[in-house]
Protein backbone atom coordinates (compact mmCIF):
# COMPACT_ATOMS: atom_id res chain seq x y z
CA UNK A 1 0.00 0.00 0.00
CA UNK A 2 1.37 3.37 -1.03
CA UNK A 3 1.87 6.15 1.48
CA UNK A 4 0.35 9.42 0.32
CA UNK A 5 1.90 11.38 3.15
CA UNK A 6 5.14 10.50 4.88
CA UNK A 7 6.37 12.26 7.98
CA UNK A 8 9.97 11.57 8.91
CA UNK A 9 11.88 12.78 11.98
CA UNK A 10 9.55 15.73 12.51
CA UNK A 11 10.67 18.20 15.19
CA UNK A 12 8.91 21.36 16.27
CA UNK A 13 9.13 23.62 19.29
CA UNK A 14 7.26 26.72 20.43
CA UNK A 15 9.11 28.99 22.88
CA UNK A 16 11.62 26.22 23.66
CA UNK A 17 8.77 23.84 24.57
CA UNK A 18 9.09 20.78 22.37
CA UNK A 19 5.81 19.93 20.61
CA UNK A 20 7.14 17.16 18.35
CA UNK A 21 10.25 15.16 19.01
CA UNK A 22 11.29 13.09 15.99
CA UNK A 23 7.93 11.85 14.84
CA UNK A 24 7.52 9.31 12.02
CA UNK A 25 4.09 8.74 10.54
CA UNK A 26 2.54 7.38 7.34
CA UNK A 27 -0.82 8.10 5.80
CA UNK A 28 -1.75 5.29 3.44
CA UNK A 29 -3.58 6.01 0.23
CA UNK A 30 -7.35 5.41 0.42
CA UNK A 31 -7.34 4.70 4.15
CA UNK A 32 -8.63 6.55 7.19
CA UNK A 33 -5.73 7.38 9.45
CA UNK A 34 -6.45 8.80 12.88
CA UNK A 35 -4.07 10.82 15.00
CA UNK A 36 -5.22 10.73 18.59
CA UNK A 37 -3.98 11.99 21.87
CA UNK A 38 -4.84 14.19 24.82
CA UNK A 39 -5.64 17.87 24.23
CA UNK A 40 -2.66 20.10 23.75
CA UNK A 41 -0.35 17.52 22.23
CA UNK A 42 -0.10 19.37 18.94
CA UNK A 43 -2.50 17.33 16.82
CA UNK A 44 -3.88 20.40 15.07
CA UNK A 45 -0.34 21.72 14.67
CA UNK A 46 0.51 18.54 12.82
CA UNK A 47 -2.38 19.07 10.38
CA UNK A 48 -1.27 22.64 9.79
CA UNK A 49 2.20 21.37 8.95
CA UNK A 50 0.83 18.88 6.46
CA UNK A 51 -1.12 21.77 4.93
CA UNK A 52 2.07 23.83 4.75
CA UNK A 53 0.78 26.58 7.02
CA UNK A 54 3.52 25.96 9.56
CA UNK A 55 7.09 24.91 8.86
CA UNK A 56 8.75 22.25 10.99
CA UNK A 57 12.05 22.94 12.77
CA UNK A 58 13.45 19.65 11.55
CA UNK A 59 12.51 16.55 9.59
CA UNK A 60 10.44 16.27 6.44
CA UNK A 61 6.79 15.99 5.45
CA UNK A 62 6.25 14.72 1.93
CA UNK A 63 3.09 14.34 -0.08
CA UNK A 64 3.47 12.21 -3.19
CA UNK A 65 7.23 12.69 -3.01
CA UNK A 66 7.07 16.51 -2.75
CA UNK A 67 8.62 17.97 0.38
CA UNK A 68 5.90 20.31 1.62
CA UNK A 69 8.09 22.50 3.80
CA UNK A 70 10.47 23.45 0.99
CA UNK A 71 7.89 24.23 -1.69
CA UNK A 72 7.63 27.81 -2.87
CA UNK A 73 4.41 29.77 -2.51
CA UNK A 74 3.03 28.95 -5.95
CA UNK A 75 3.78 25.22 -5.76
CA UNK A 76 2.30 25.07 -2.28
CA UNK A 77 -0.96 26.67 -3.41
CA UNK A 78 -1.12 24.22 -6.32
CA UNK A 79 -0.55 21.29 -4.00
CA UNK A 80 -3.25 22.53 -1.63
CA UNK A 81 -5.84 22.11 -4.37
CA UNK A 82 -5.34 18.38 -3.86
CA UNK A 83 -6.07 18.71 -0.13
CA UNK A 84 -9.22 19.49 1.76
CA UNK A 85 -9.32 20.54 5.36
CA UNK A 86 -12.24 20.68 7.74
CA UNK A 87 -11.55 23.19 10.48
CA UNK A 88 -12.89 22.70 13.95
CA UNK A 89 -15.02 25.84 13.76
CA UNK A 90 -16.00 25.18 10.15
CA UNK A 91 -14.47 28.54 9.16
CA UNK A 92 -17.11 29.31 6.55
CA UNK A 93 -16.73 32.70 4.88
CA UNK A 94 -19.26 34.81 6.72
CA UNK A 95 -19.86 37.27 3.90
CA UNK A 96 -21.33 34.72 1.48
CA UNK A 97 -24.15 32.19 1.43
CA UNK A 98 -23.67 28.48 1.99
CA UNK A 99 -23.98 27.95 -1.75
CA UNK A 100 -21.27 30.48 -2.59
CA UNK A 101 -19.02 29.05 0.12
CA UNK A 102 -19.12 25.62 -1.48
CA UNK A 103 -18.91 27.07 -4.98
CA UNK A 104 -15.86 29.23 -4.25
CA UNK A 105 -13.12 26.61 -4.70
CA UNK A 106 -14.80 25.35 -7.89
CA UNK A 107 -15.17 28.85 -9.33
CA UNK A 108 -11.61 29.83 -8.50
CA UNK A 109 -9.80 26.69 -9.58
CA UNK A 110 -11.83 25.58 -12.62
CA UNK A 111 -13.34 27.25 -15.65
CA UNK A 112 -16.58 25.27 -15.53
CA UNK A 113 -19.69 27.11 -16.71
CA UNK A 114 -22.02 28.32 -13.98
CA UNK A 115 -24.68 25.65 -14.66
CA UNK A 116 -22.14 22.88 -13.95
CA UNK A 117 -20.94 24.69 -10.85
CA UNK A 118 -24.53 24.84 -9.64
CA UNK A 119 -25.07 21.12 -10.18
CA UNK A 120 -21.79 20.21 -8.49
CA UNK A 121 -22.50 22.40 -5.47
CA UNK A 122 -26.02 21.02 -5.07
CA UNK A 123 -24.66 17.48 -5.23
CA UNK A 124 -22.14 18.23 -2.49
CA UNK A 125 -24.77 19.94 -0.36
CA UNK A 126 -27.16 17.04 -0.88
CA UNK A 127 -24.48 14.67 0.35
CA UNK A 128 -24.25 16.53 3.66
CA UNK A 129 -28.00 17.06 3.84
CA UNK A 130 -27.95 20.82 3.37
CA UNK A 131 -29.36 21.24 -0.14
CA UNK A 132 -32.28 23.13 1.37
CA UNK A 133 -29.97 25.48 3.28
CA UNK A 134 -28.12 26.74 0.23
CA UNK A 135 -29.36 30.31 0.50
CA UNK A 136 -28.69 30.73 4.21
CA UNK A 137 -25.81 32.77 5.54
CA UNK A 138 -23.30 30.98 7.80
CA UNK A 139 -24.53 32.97 10.81
CA UNK A 140 -27.97 31.35 10.39
CA UNK A 141 -26.58 27.81 10.70
CA UNK A 142 -26.18 25.80 13.88
CA UNK A 143 -22.70 24.62 14.80
CA UNK A 144 -23.28 21.14 13.45
CA UNK A 145 -24.76 22.43 10.19
CA UNK A 146 -21.87 24.84 9.75
CA UNK A 147 -19.42 21.99 10.06
CA UNK A 148 -21.32 19.90 7.51
CA UNK A 149 -21.41 22.85 5.11
CA UNK A 150 -17.68 23.27 5.64
CA UNK A 151 -17.24 19.57 4.86
CA UNK A 152 -19.11 20.06 1.57
CA UNK A 153 -16.74 22.92 0.77
CA UNK A 154 -13.66 20.92 1.75
CA UNK A 155 -14.57 18.12 -0.68
CA UNK A 156 -15.93 20.40 -3.42
CA UNK A 157 -12.92 19.83 -5.66
CA UNK A 158 -12.81 16.13 -4.77
CA UNK A 159 -9.36 16.34 -3.20
CA UNK A 160 -7.17 13.28 -2.81
CA UNK A 161 -6.83 13.79 0.88
CA UNK A 162 -9.16 15.33 3.45
CA UNK A 163 -7.98 16.35 6.90
CA UNK A 164 -10.48 16.60 9.72
CA UNK A 165 -9.65 18.69 12.76
CA UNK A 166 -11.67 17.40 15.72
CA UNK A 167 -14.74 16.64 13.58
CA UNK A 168 -16.73 15.17 16.49
CA UNK A 169 -16.06 17.79 19.15
CA UNK A 170 -19.24 19.47 20.33
CA UNK A 171 -21.60 17.49 18.10
CA UNK A 172 -24.90 16.16 19.33
CA UNK A 173 -25.34 12.36 19.03
CA UNK A 174 -27.29 12.59 15.77
CA UNK A 175 -24.83 15.00 14.18
CA UNK A 176 -22.03 12.75 15.32
CA UNK A 177 -23.61 9.70 13.67
CA UNK A 178 -24.23 11.63 10.45
CA UNK A 179 -20.63 12.84 10.34
CA UNK A 180 -19.25 9.36 10.99
CA UNK A 181 -21.31 7.98 8.12
CA UNK A 182 -20.29 10.86 5.86
CA UNK A 183 -16.58 10.48 6.47
CA UNK A 184 -16.77 6.74 5.98
CA UNK A 185 -18.80 7.02 2.78
CA UNK A 186 -16.62 9.76 1.30
CA UNK A 187 -13.69 7.52 1.96
CA UNK A 188 -15.31 4.47 0.38
CA UNK A 189 -17.22 5.93 -2.56
CA UNK A 190 -14.74 8.57 -3.65
CA UNK A 191 -11.59 6.79 -2.58
CA UNK A 192 -10.47 9.74 -0.55
CA UNK A 193 -7.61 9.40 1.86
CA UNK A 194 -8.61 10.76 5.25
CA UNK A 195 -6.68 12.02 8.24
CA UNK A 196 -8.70 12.51 11.41
CA UNK A 197 -7.36 14.36 14.38
CA UNK A 198 -9.50 13.64 17.40
CA UNK A 199 -9.66 12.69 21.04
CA UNK A 200 -13.05 11.00 20.76
CA UNK A 201 -11.88 7.42 21.12
CA UNK A 202 -15.06 5.44 20.55
CA UNK A 203 -16.15 7.33 17.43
CA UNK A 204 -12.75 7.46 15.83
CA UNK A 205 -12.01 3.81 16.52
CA UNK A 206 -15.24 2.87 14.68
CA UNK A 207 -14.10 4.21 11.33
CA UNK A 208 -10.31 4.50 11.42
CA UNK A 209 -8.15 1.94 9.64
CA UNK A 210 -5.03 2.90 11.53
CA UNK A 211 -4.43 4.96 14.66
CA UNK A 212 -1.39 6.87 15.85
CA UNK A 213 -1.38 7.78 19.52
CA UNK A 214 0.48 10.98 20.27
CA UNK A 215 1.62 12.05 23.74
CA UNK A 216 4.42 14.25 25.07
CA UNK A 217 5.74 14.95 21.58
CA UNK A 218 6.19 11.32 20.66
CA UNK A 219 4.20 8.57 18.99
CA UNK A 220 3.39 6.38 21.97
CA UNK A 221 1.80 3.61 20.03
CA UNK A 222 0.32 2.89 16.63
CA UNK A 223 -1.75 0.14 15.06
CA UNK A 224 -5.26 -0.86 14.08
CA UNK A 225 -8.09 0.19 16.43
CA UNK A 226 -8.46 -3.35 17.78
CA UNK A 227 -4.76 -3.58 18.44
CA UNK A 228 -4.82 -0.34 20.43
CA UNK A 229 -8.00 -1.14 22.36
CA UNK A 230 -6.48 -4.36 23.61
CA UNK A 231 -3.09 -2.84 24.30
CA UNK A 232 -1.56 -3.66 27.69
CA UNK A 233 0.57 -0.54 28.09
CA UNK A 234 -0.89 1.59 30.93
CA UNK A 235 -0.49 4.86 28.92
CA UNK A 236 -2.47 3.46 26.02
CA UNK A 237 -5.05 1.82 28.26
CA UNK A 238 -5.67 5.02 30.17
CA UNK A 239 -6.31 7.07 27.05
CA UNK A 240 -8.28 4.51 25.09
CA UNK A 241 -10.58 3.77 28.01
CA UNK A 242 -10.75 7.30 29.37
CA UNK A 243 -9.54 6.53 32.90
CA UNK A 244 -8.84 9.40 35.28
CA UNK A 245 -6.12 7.49 37.14
CA UNK A 246 -3.05 6.28 35.39
CA UNK A 247 0.44 7.25 34.37
CA UNK A 248 -0.74 10.25 32.32
CA UNK A 249 -1.21 13.21 34.65
CA UNK A 250 -4.47 15.05 34.15
CA UNK A 251 -3.42 18.11 36.16
CA UNK A 252 -1.39 20.88 34.60
CA UNK A 253 2.03 20.91 36.29
CA UNK A 254 1.74 22.91 39.52
CA UNK A 255 3.53 23.48 42.76
CA UNK A 256 2.75 21.35 45.79
CA UNK A 257 -0.93 21.57 46.77
CA UNK A 258 -0.25 22.08 50.45
CA UNK A 259 2.09 25.02 49.87
CA UNK A 260 -0.59 26.78 47.77
CA UNK A 261 -3.01 26.64 50.69
CA UNK A 262 -0.43 27.67 53.23
CA UNK A 263 -0.23 24.46 55.27
CA UNK A 264 3.23 23.32 54.27
Partner 1 sequence: MDFFQQQGKNAIENMRSLGRSALILWHAALWLPVSVERYRLLLRQLYRVGVLSLLIVAVSGLFIGMVLGLQGFNTLSRFGAEQALGQMVALSLVRELGPVVTALLFAGRAGSALTAEIGLMKATEQLASMEMIGIDPLHRVVAPRLWAGFISMPLLAAVFSVIGVYGGQLVGVNLLGLDHGSYWSNMQSAVDFYDDVVNGIIKSLVFGVLVTWIAVYQGYNARPTAAGIGESTTRTVVFSSLAVLGVDFLLTAVMFGD
Q: Which residues bind partner 1 (CB under 8 A)?
A: 48, 51, 53, 73, 77-78, 80-81, 83-85, 87-89, 91-94, 104-105, 107-109, 150, 153
Shortest Cβ distance from residue 125 to partner 1 (Å)? Answer: 17
Indicate the residue among 80 and 231 with the shorter CB distance to partner 1.
80
Give whichever of 168 and 239 is closer to partner 1, judged by the CB atom: 168
**Smaller CB distance to partner 1: residue 34 or 103?**
103
Q: How far is the CB of 124 from partner 1 (least distance, A)?
A: 14
CB of 87 to partner 1, least distance (A): 5
Q: Could you tell me the smallest distance in angstroms from the CB atom of residue 209 to partner 1? A: 23
Q: Which residues contact 235 (CB under 8 A, 6 or more apart)?
A: 215, 220, 221, 246, 247, 248
Contact indicator for 117, 106 with CB cutoff of 8 Å: yes
- Work out the number of other CB atoms within 10 angstroms of the CB of residue 45: 17
Q: Which is nearer to partner 1, 116 or 250 (CB)?
A: 116
Q: Is the Cβ of residue 143 or residue 246 nearer to partner 1 in the bound state?
A: 143
> What residues contact 187, with CB distance under 8 A and at least 6 apart?
30, 31, 32, 193, 194, 207
Minimal distance, residue 229 CB to partner 1, in Å: 32
Amino acid sequence: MMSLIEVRGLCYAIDNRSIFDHIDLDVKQGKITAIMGPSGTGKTTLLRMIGGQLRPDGGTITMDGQNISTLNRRALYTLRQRMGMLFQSGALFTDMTVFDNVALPIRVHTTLPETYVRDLVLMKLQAVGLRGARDLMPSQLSGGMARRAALARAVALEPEIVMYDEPFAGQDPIGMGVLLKLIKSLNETMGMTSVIVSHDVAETAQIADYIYLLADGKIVCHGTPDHLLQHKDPHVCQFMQGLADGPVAFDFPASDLRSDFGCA
